[in-house]
Structure 1
Amino acid sequence: MTLFTDTQDALFDALRPQAPDALLGLITAFRADPRPDKIDLGVGVFRDDHGATPVMRAVKAAEARLVADQQSKAYLGAEGDARYTELLAELLLGADAADEEHLAGVQTPGGTGALRLGAELIARARPDARVWIGTPTWPNHMPIFRAAGLAIQPHAFYHRDTGGIDFDAMMADLSDAMPGDIVLLHGCCHNPTGAGFGADQWRDIAALCERRGLIPFIDLAYQGLGDGLDDDAAATRTMLARLPEALIAYSCDKNFGLYRDRVGALWVQSRSGAGAAIAKGNMLAIARGLWSMPPDHGAAVVRVILDNPDLRADWMAELDAMRIRLNGLRMALSACHPRLAPIANQRGMFALLPLSSDQVIAAREQHGIYMAPDGRINIAGLTIDTITAFARGIVPYLNI
C-alpha cells in the first residue's frame, strides 16, 4: 500500500530552475575551444608563468610532516584547530592578537564559511540589521547574507569609467546607515575591481562607523598578494583599533594556495572579554548546525607552516614572488591602453575591464579571450608573452 497519489504534489515540483554558474560555464567552453592561443582569465586561481596552479613548497613540506607525525584523525570539535586560529590572528592582527580577551575566533570551511557563520551570528544577534555592500562585489556576498535572512542595502563604490573608487558617493550613501547596521568591506585586493582605499580613506570610514554606530564586517581573502602581509593587514588593524565591535572573515585559499582544502577563520571583536566569550559560544553553536566540524587537513598545514620558522620563511618568499608577478603583470597591462592605466594602481588578482557583456562575448568568439560576463579578469591568467595578444583582442572595444 502506498500513500502517494497521482494528485499529490511531488516534493521538488515547487523548486524553480536555477541559472547555471557563469564561471563554470566558461570552464567548459574554454576546454572545448580548440584554438591553441586561447586565454583563460575567468576562474579566480593564481597561476604561474606556465599557467599552472602549483602546490606551494612550504605546503608540500608541511604535508610531509603531517604524514609522518599525525597520530589521529579524530574530531577536533566545532572550534577546529585552535592553534591555527591563534597563529592566523597573529599574522593578521599582530603578535599580541591571540591574547586579546575581546577577540574570539574559530576555524571555518574557507572564507565562504566564515562569511556565512558571521551572517548567521548577526541574524541571531540583530535580525533587523541591514548589511551595506558596495557594488560591484564578489557575486557570492549578497546570496550569503540573504540566506541568513538579512536585508541587503547596496551603496556606491566603483566608478567603472575611471577605474577608481567613487568615495564621496560611497560616504554619502553610508551616511544613511543606522546604528547597528553592518558595513561589508574588502580588507585588501578588492574582488572584482582591484580598487582599494588609501590610508586616509580607511580612517574616514572608521570615523564614519564610529560616529554612526556601524559595525564593519571585513572580508580578507588575499593578505600578502597586494602590497605585502603587513601592508595588506593595515586597514583591518586600523578599523579594529578604532571601533569596539567588528567581524573578520579570512581565507587561506589564495595566499597558501589551499583552494580545495577550504581553509578559513572568523573573528569577532566585542566590547569586552565577556561579550567575546558569549559571541564565541554562539559561533560554535551555529557552526555545529552548519557543518558540525571543520575539515582539519588544510588548517593543520597552515599551522605547521606558521609554527615553523623555516617553513614560514619559505612560504613568505614564495608569496612575495606571487605578489611581484601579479603587480608586474598589472604594470605591463596598464601600458597597453590609456583606459587600462588604472590597473597599475590596483591590487590583487582581479581587474574589472570597461567592457559591455556583448564586447566580452565578441572577445571570446573572435579572439579566444575568456573572461567573466561583467568584464572581470583574473590577472594571474596572463603571462608577459600573452599580454600583447590579449591587448590586441580588447583594445578595439576600448576605443569605441
Structure 2
Amino acid sequence: MFEKLQAPPPDKILSLISAYAEDTRPNKIDLGVGVYRDETGATPVLETVREAERRLLATQKTKSYFGMGGDPAFCRAIVPLIFGTDAPSDRIRALQTPGGSGALSILMGFAAKLTKRIHIPDPSWGNHAAIAKHSRLEILRYPYFDAATSRVNFPAMKAALEKAEAGDLVLLHGCCHNPTGADLSREEWSELADLLIEKKLLALVDLAYQGFGDGLDEDAWAVRHLASRLPEMLVASSCSKNFGIYRDRTGAAFVLGKTSQEAAVAEAQVMMEARTGYSMPPDHGAAVVRIILEDEALYAAWRAELETMRSRIADLRRGLAESFRRRTNSAAYDFLMESRGMFSLIGVTEEQAKRLRSEFGIYLVDDGRINIAGLKEDQIDTFVEAVVTVKG
C-alpha cells in the first residue's frame, strides 16, 4: 500500500539544518532554525536547569504516570508565570503538554468542537496553519504585517477581524511575533480586546517567547490584559526558549472559563484531546521547570539568566540596525530596534535568500526570516554587507 504515498515537501526550516551541516565553508552563518545561541554559537544548558536536574536525580523516586494533565505541581507553578499573581485563578485550568506545539494541538482540537473557523495572522509560524488543518479547522488569514514599513498593520488587522463571525477562533501571538518580530502596542491590545468582546470571538494566544522581548512580566502583559477582560480564552505556552529545554518538550495549555465550573468542563474536554493525541506528557522538562519555579533563589537565578539572553538579543538588534544605517545611509532598517524577540523579516526575496546561502554561506528561511540570536557580534557587518549586495 505504501506505493500509493507521495513524499511530503520538506520542512523549509528544518531542511536548513542538514544543508548548513553539509556546507564546508568556515565562515558560514546559520540564521534559520529558531533556537537561542550565545556568542560562541552554542545553545547552552542554563546553570539553573543543571541544578534543577541534579536535585531531580537525587530525589525522584518513581517514573510512574501523573495523568493526562501532567504534574499538578507544575501546572500550579506555571499559572502565575503566565497570568500573574492577580489572575482569576478560579477560572483558569492548566495542563502540562509536550512543548508549545502540543499545547496548540490539543487546544485547536478542543476548539474544533466549538467552531469550524480559525483566523491566523499573515504571516505566522508555519506550524500554526498545519496544526489547524490537522484539527479540521477552516483557515482564514487576517493581514498583520506591513512589509513596506516592517511594522504591524493594525487598521487592516482590525478591519479583517471585524468581519469574523461570532464563535470564530482567533490566533494571536502574545509577544515576539514569529516570523516578523513586530508586536501590537498595549493600546492596540486594548482595542483588540474590545473587538473580541463585541464580536464574541474566542482568542487563542500563543506565548512561545516570554522573556525574550521586553522582560518576563512585560511579555505576558497581553495575556494578562485579555484574561482580565475576556469571559473565555485559550493560551498555549512553551518553556523551550526561556528555559532552554528545547528537546525536553515542555509546555502548557490553559483554558479560561466564564466560571470555575465551565473551566473545569473545558479542562476535561481538553484532557480528552491529550488522551487521544499523546496520552501522557513527558515529565523531565516539566519537573525541571517546577523545581526552578518553586525555589525562590533558583527562580531569581533563572530570571537573571533569562535576562542575559534577552539583553544579548536586544544588543544584536541594535547592532544590526546601526550597521545597516552606516552601510545604507538610511533609517530603512531601524525597525530592527523596535521589533522584539529572536525573529525578523529582513526584506529579501526567495531568490535573494538563495543567493545569500549559495554565495555567502548565510542560511535563512526563503521568506527572509532571520534568527537574530544566531548571529555573533563580529558577524554583523558581514551579514549586512551580504544583504545589501544581494538586494542591489
Task: Name the CA distance, whole Å, in 1 between partners of 2:5 and 2:231.
Answer: 43
Query: How many residues align structurally?
Result: 386
Q: Does 1:376 align with 2:376?
A: no
Larger Rg: 1
Match of 2:224 among 230, 237, 243: 237
What residue identity is the alignment partner of 2:261?
A: A
Offset from partner CA, 1:288-316 (integer Å, 9 cap, x none): 11111100000000000000011111100
Match of 1:66 in 2: 56
Are 2:354 and 1:361 equivalent residues in the alignment? Answer: yes
C-alpha separation in 2, matches of 1:22 and 1:243: 36
- What is the aligned-residue RMSD (CA, Å)? 1.1
Alpha-carbon distance in 2 for matches of 1:389, 1:133: 35
- The aligned counterpart of 1:25 is 15
Q: CA deviation at 1:24?
A: 2.5
Q: Distance in 1 between matches of 2:115 and 2:190?
A: 28
Cα distance in 1 for residues equivalent to 2:187 and 2:13: 35
Distance in 1 (CA, whole Å) between partners of 2:191 and 2:48 is 38
Q: In structure 2, what residue type is equivalent to 1:278?
A: V
Question: Secondary structure at 1:336's aligned position in 2?
Answer: helix
Query: Which residue does the alignment assign to 1:203?
Result: 190
Bigger mean CA deviation after superposition, 158-167 or 49-58: 158-167
d(CA) in 2 for partners of 1:105, 1:161: 40
Partner of 1:286: 273
Q: Contact between 2:355 and 2:390, CA under 8 Å: does it hold in 1?
A: no
CA contact (8 A) 2:29 2:361 kept: yes
What is the DSSP-based 3-state SS (H/G/I as helix, E as strand, rest coil) of the residue aligned with 1:339? Answer: coil
**Matched residue SS, 2:170:** strand
1:83 Cα deviation after fit: 1.1
Give the equivalent residue in structure 1 for 2:107.
Answer: 118
Partner residue in 2 for 1:155: 142
| 1:12-35 deviation per Cα after TM superposition (whole angstroms, max 9, x unaligned) | 233332111122221111111111
Q: Distance in 2 between matches of 1:247 and 1:254?
A: 20
Amino acid in structure 2 at the alignment position of 1:234? W
- Matched AA of 2:361: G
Secondary structure of the 1:229 match is coil
1:242 positional shift: 1.1
The answer to whether structure 1 residue 90 and structure 2 residue 80 are counterparts is yes
Aligned to 2:92: 103
Instruction: Determine the structure 2 residue equivalent to 1:4.
Output: none
Q: Distance in 2 between matches of 1:14 and 1:207?
A: 50
Counterpart of 1:266 (choices 245, 253, 278) is 253
Aligned to 1:3: none
Alignment of 1:124-139 (within 5 A): 124=113, 126-128=114-116, 130-139=117-126
Following superposition, the deviation at residue 393 of structure 1 comes to 0.7
- 192, 201, 212: which one pairs with 1:214? 201
**Corresponding residue number in structure 2 for 1:7:** none
Q: Secondary structure at the match of 1:140?
A: helix
State the SS of the aligned residue for 1:105. strand
Q: 2:173 matched to 1:186? A: yes
Deviates more, 1:22-31 or 1:108-117: 22-31
TM-superposition CA deviations, 1:115-139 (whole Å, max 9, x none): 0000110112x143x1111111000
Q: Quick check: 160-169 or 255-264, which moved more?
A: 160-169
**Structure 2: runs of 5 or more not aligned:** 325-330
Query: Percent same amino acid among aligned pairs?
Result: 45
Alpha-carbon distance in structure 1 between the residues aligned to 2:315 and 2:272: 45
Equivalence for 2:328: none
Partner of 2:32: 42
TM-score by length of 2: 0.97
Q: 1:237-256, aligned counterparts within 5 Å? A: 237-256=224-243
TM value normalised by structure 1 = 0.95
Counterpart residue type for residue 392 of structure 1: E
Shift of 1:96: 4.6
Query: Partners in 1 of 2:224 and 2:15 — Cα distance?
Result: 38
DSSP 3-state at the match of 1:177: coil
Residue of structure 2 aligned with 1:326, choices 313, 334, 339: 313
Q: State the AA in 2 paired with 1:174.
A: L
Partner amino acid for 2:121?
Answer: G
Aligned counterparts of 1:32 and 1:280: Cα–Cα separation in 2 = 46
What amino acid sits opposite 2:89 in the alignment? E
| Structure-1 separation of matches of 2:342 and 2:299 | 22
SS in 2 for 1:161: coil
Q: Which runs of 4+ in 1 moved over 6 A?
A: none
Structure 1: state its 5+ residue gaps.
1-9
1:344 aligns with 2:337: yes
CA distance in 1, matches of 2:15, 2:215: 33
Q: Distance in 2 between matches of 1:322 and 1:281?
A: 37
> Which whole-Å deviations, capped at 9, do the CAs of 1:238-269 have from their partners, x for residues lacking one?
11111101000000000000100000000001
Q: Distance in 2 between matches of 1:183 and 1:47?
A: 32
In structure 2, the residue matched to 1:53 is 43
Which amino acid is 2:47 matched to?
A: R
Alpha-carbon distance in 2 for matches of 1:137, 1:79: 28
Letter aligned with residue 283 of structure 1: V
Q: Distance in 2 between matches of 1:344 and 1:92?
A: 25
